[in-house]
């Protein structure tokens, strides 16, 4: 009972964890999707506001610019300013011209259309002549260019009559009156150069109404010289410089990230005016922006936890029904052992998934049973091979001694050929009877094959010709011992019939990720009956290795083609190449190969 409860509890925990994870992912995904959507909406709003404010500011400046262009396009106005700047007022003969010039300038700027459009228009020169479109006041008579910053007049002069924007500044009159304005200035150019300055002023309140913060957005307007034109709150010069530089360096003026000066995450949108050179920057603190989503986040969390609770209750009550077939399967799995592995288990009918699980277990049991049989057979083959190897070692010392006697007699008779033959036979015996390594390399096999063919050359002399060409990359590839010699021995045994000279060629290549060795002779080739019989025996071996009947009569100690095939199949787990065929020009070809590691 404890086992069943534990299993059910684990299943409930798994389902609960799954639902918690799923609902958490969906909840957080929904929340962060809303955050992303809100951020995109905020960026769009910031962009719209920045563009709208920049456009409205341009409209205001455009009106001021039209007034300045209109005045400078009047020849009599420019001529009057030249007169005032060049004529000496101390000479009586110039007083009439100077008076006419004063009337012309006043008539040009003191117009109802100008007073309705802008705050005032000031005209002045370096001789302290000052004219204004505002109501005449004695205090204005002392207000001249010397009250302006020298840098403004210098910059305006360098523009040579082009538009120059003066940032908001405080004007203090001699009578103590003060007010904040921003200006558009143009130098008045005459034949001899700058003859005066034209200033179109507007009160800063006019600009403030356009740039007043909207929807908790902060607004900053900076000119090309990084001077503050307007700010929704007091900012340090370093902060203004950061905003202007950062927005200017971003594509389309958009920037989102952490402010290194304030330490807060924020979104910035900058729009630069081609008319004034002013950059309108709209910004919002990300933290304050996301406060409006707190309610949505809390609702998502509450709904998520409610769904989790309902899911746990549902899983708890229905897990017992769902886990009953699984508990039966678990009990059967605990009872399975090697003795009853082949017995079939009859499961109760359940849902389709459980039935599929039962079927999968049955298939796994059958494959396991089959794998155990194959492992037993493999060990049996290995044991037979070991017995054959032991049997082969019964007489090697006796043979070595005999070969030494023959070799010594050859030395006494000065017959080095006998010594060479004894040496090659000794090497072959040592290679074939050694039990240190059952797995060798292709290089070792080729060396043993050369010894064998050299011995056969001693026997058949000119009647045997052979050629071996191997790719150097084949030398270290592992292979079962005594694979190549039996193939060559088969060619020599069957190839001399009706042949005066037997030619044997061995080719080793690597191509397309596989190694391959071809043993080719010019003998009679395989008779179709023999070829069919060999292939049939190979197929029989493959069937027996998969069956439960065993493979009685298979002699691992023999070195026939079928036995060579069997050892290759066991070593490479049936993933290898072993082909027997007749050459079109005559003779047989035996090919073997495998995949490279």
Regarding whether 374 and 278 lie in a shared domain, the answer is: no
Identify the pLDDT of residue 560: 72
Q: Which of 350, 372, 387 is the last residue of a domain?
A: 387
Burial 405-442 (b: 16+ CB within 10 A, else e): eebeebeeeeeeebbebbebbbbbbebbbeeeeeebeb
Identify the pLDDT of residue 251: 63
The torsion of the CA quartet 47, 49, 54, 55, rounded to 10 degrees, works out to 110
Task: Print pLDDT tens along the chain (597 aa).
Answer: 344 445 556 656 676 677 677 777 777 777 777 777 777 777 788 888 888 988 999 999 999 999 999 999 999 999 999 998 888 888 888 889 989 999 999 888 888 777 788 888 989 888 878 888 876 554 444 455 555 666 788 888 888 889 999 888 887 766 677 788 899 999 999 888 889 899 998 888 888 888 887 667 888 999 888 888 888 888 888 988 888 888 877 766 566 778 888 888 888 888 888 888 898 988 887 776 666 666 766 777 777 777 777 777 776 676 666 667 666 777 777 777 666 666 666 655 555 666 777 777 777 777 777 777 777 666 666 655 554 554 444 445 445 555 666 766 666 666 777 777 888 887 787 787 776 677 899 999 999 999 889 888 888 888 889 999 999 999 999 998 888 988 888 888 877 666 778 899 999 999 988 999 999 998 888 888 888 898 888 888 777 765 544 444 444 333 478 888 888 887 887 788 999 999 888 889 999 999 887
CA gap 511, 519 in Å, rounded: 17
Sheet holding 164-172, edge to edge: 130-132, 120-124, 193-203, 178-190, 164-172
Regarding whether 459 and 520 lie in a shared domain, the answer is: yes
Reported pTM: 0.47
Tell me 185's DSSP state: E
CA gap 581, 590 in Å, rounded: 7
CATH code of the domain in which 524 resides? 3.30.565.10
Identify the pLDDT of residue 15: 66
Regarding whether 148 and 256 lie in a shared domain, the answer is: yes
Identify the pLDDT of residue 225: 85
CA gap 422, 405 in Å, rounded: 10
Q: Does a structural domain hold residue 378?
A: yes
The number of domains in the chain is 3
Q: Does a structural domain hold residue 464?
A: yes
Q: Does a structural domain hold residue 482?
A: yes
Q: Does a structural domain hold residue 81?
A: yes
480-510: pLDDT as tens digits? 888 898 888 888 887 766 677 889 999 999 9
Identify the pLDDT of residue 100: 92
183-197: pLDDT as tens digits? 999 999 988 888 989
Identify the pLDDT of residue 156: 86
Identify the pLDDT of residue 292: 64
Whether residue 6 contacts residue 177, with contact meaning beta carbons closer than 8 Å, is answered with no
Tell me 94's DSSP state: G
Segments in 291-395 forming alpha helices (H): 294-335, 352-392
Regarding whether 260 and 369 lie in a shared domain, the answer is: no
Close Cβ partners of 150 (under 8 Å, ≥ 6 residues apart): none
Q: Which of 263, 270, 266, 225 is nearest to 249 (CA)?
A: 270
Whether residue 464 contacts residue 500, with contact meaning beta carbons closer than 8 Å, is answered with no
Q: Which of 475, 480, 471, 493 is nearest to 578 (CA)?
A: 480
Whether residue 326 contacts residue 297, with contact meaning beta carbons closer than 8 Å, is answered with no
Identify the pLDDT of residue 1: 38
Q: Does a structural domain hold residue 502?
A: yes
H/E run at residue 86:
helix 75-86
Whether residue 159 contacts residue 186, with contact meaning beta carbons closer than 8 Å, is answered with yes
Regarding whether 272 and 360 lie in a shared domain, the answer is: no
Regarding whether 141 and 81 lie in a shared domain, the answer is: yes
CATH code of the domain in which 86 resides? 3.30.450.20
Regarding whether 588 and 477 lie in a shared domain, the answer is: yes
419-436: pLDDT as tens digits? 778 888 877 877 877 766
Q: Does a structural domain hold residue 207?
A: yes
CA gap 464, 500 in Å, rounded: 9
First-to-last CA distance in the chain? 52
- Burial of residue 33 (number of CB atoms within 10 Å: 0-12, 13-18, 19+): exposed
Q: Does a structural domain hold residue 265?
A: yes
Regarding whether 182 and 260 lie in a shared domain, the answer is: yes
Regarding whether 340 and 210 lie in a shared domain, the answer is: no
Regarding whether 476 and 375 lie in a shared domain, the answer is: no
Q: Does a structural domain hold residue 433?
A: no
Regarding whether 514 and 372 lie in a shared domain, the answer is: no
Q: What share of the chain in percent tops pLDDT 70?
A: 74
The torsion angles phi and psi of 101, rounded to 5 degrees, stand at: -65, -40
The torsion angles phi and psi of 481, rounded to 5 degrees, stand at: -70, 145
Identify the pLDDT of residue 390: 45
Regarding whether 94 and 229 lie in a shared domain, the answer is: yes
CA gap 329, 355 in Å, rounded: 10
Q: At what angle do helices 561-571 and 352-392 cross, to 10 degrees?
A: 130
Range of the domain at 508: 439-446+455-595
Identify the pLDDT of residue 351: 58
CA gap 144, 403 in Å, rounded: 131
Close Cβ partners of 224 (under 8 Å, ≥ 6 residues apart): 277, 278
The torsion angles phi and psi of 88, rounded to 5 degrees, stand at: -85, 115
Q: 455-461: long-range contacts (C-beta < 8 A, 24 or more apart)? A: 455/421, 455/424, 455/425, 455/428, 456/492, 458/417, 458/421, 460/496, 460/502
């Amino acid at each position: 009972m404890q086992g069943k409860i534990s299993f059910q509890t684990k299943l409930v925990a798994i389902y609960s964890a799954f639902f918690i994870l799923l609902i958490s992912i969906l909840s957080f995904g929904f929340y962060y999707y809303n955050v992303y959507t809100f951020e995109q909406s905020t960026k769009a709003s910031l962009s719209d506001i920045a563009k709208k404010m920049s456009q409205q500011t341009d409209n205001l400046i455009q009106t001021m610019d039209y007034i300045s262009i209109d005045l400078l396009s009047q020849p009599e106005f420019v001529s009057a300013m030249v007169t005032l700047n060049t004529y000496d007022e101390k000479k009586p003969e110039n007083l009439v011209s100077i008076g006419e010039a004063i009337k012309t300038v006043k008539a040009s700027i003191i117009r109802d259309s100008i007073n309705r459009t802008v705050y005032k228009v000031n005209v002045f020169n370096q001789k302290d002549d000052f004219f204004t479109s505002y109501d005449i006041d004695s205090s204005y008579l002392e207000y001249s260019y010397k009250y302006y910053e020298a840098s403004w007049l210098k910059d305006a002069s360098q523009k040579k009559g082009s538009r120059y924007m003066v940032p908001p500044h405080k004007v203090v009159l001699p009578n103590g009156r003060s007010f904040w304005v921003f200006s558009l200035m143009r130098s008045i150019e005459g034949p001899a150069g700058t003859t005066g300055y034209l200033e179109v002023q507007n009160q800063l309140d006019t600009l403030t109404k356009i740039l007043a913060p909207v929807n908790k957005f902060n607004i900053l307007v900076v000119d090309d010289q990084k001077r503050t034109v307007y700010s929704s709150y007091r900012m340090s010069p370093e902060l203004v410089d950061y905003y202007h530089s950062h927005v200017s360096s971003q594509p389309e003026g958009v920037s989102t990230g952490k402010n290194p000066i304030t330490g807060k995450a924020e979104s910035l949108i900058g729009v630069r005016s081609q008319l004034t050179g002013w950059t309108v920057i709209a910004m919002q603190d990300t933290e304050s922006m996301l406060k409006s989503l707190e309610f949505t986040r809390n609702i998502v969390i509450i709904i998520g936890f409610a769904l989790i609770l309902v899911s746990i209750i549902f899983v708890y009550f229905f897990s017992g029904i769902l886990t009953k077939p699984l508990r039966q399967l678990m009990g059967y799995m605990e009872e399975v052992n090697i003795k009853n592995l082949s017995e079939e288990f009859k499961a109760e009918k359940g849902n389709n998934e459980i039935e599929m699980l039962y079927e999968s277990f049955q298939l796994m049991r059958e494959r396991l049973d089959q794998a155990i049989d194959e492992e037993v057979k493999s060990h049996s083959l290995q044991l037979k091979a070991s017995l054959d190897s032991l049997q082969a070692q019964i007489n090697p010392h006796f043979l070595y001694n005999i070969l030494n006697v023959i070799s010594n007699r050859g030395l006494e008779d000065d017959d080095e050929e006998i010594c060479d033959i004894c040496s090659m036979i000794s090497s072959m015996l040592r290679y074939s009877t050694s039990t240190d390594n059952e797995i060798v390399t292709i290089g070792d096999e080729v060396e043993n094959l050369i010894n064998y063919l050299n011995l056969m050359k001693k026997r058949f002399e000119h009647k045997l010709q052979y050629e071996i060409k191997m790719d150097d990359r084949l030398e270290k590839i592992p292979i079962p011992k005594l694979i190549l010699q039996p193939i060559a021995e088969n060619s020599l045994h069957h190839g001399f019939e009706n042949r005066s000279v037997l030619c044997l060629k061995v080719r080793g290549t690597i191509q397309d990720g596989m190694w391959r060795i071809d043993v080719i002779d010019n003998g009679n080739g395989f008779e179709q009956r023999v070829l069919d019989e060999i292939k049939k025996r190979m197929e029989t071996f493959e069937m027996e290795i998969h069956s439960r009947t065993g493979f009685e009569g298979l002699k691992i100690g023999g070195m026939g083609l079928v036995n060579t095939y069997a050892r290759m199949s066991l070593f490479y787990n049936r993933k290898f190449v072993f082909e027997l065929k007749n050459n079109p020009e005559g003779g047989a070809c035996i090919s073997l190969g495998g995949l490279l590691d």
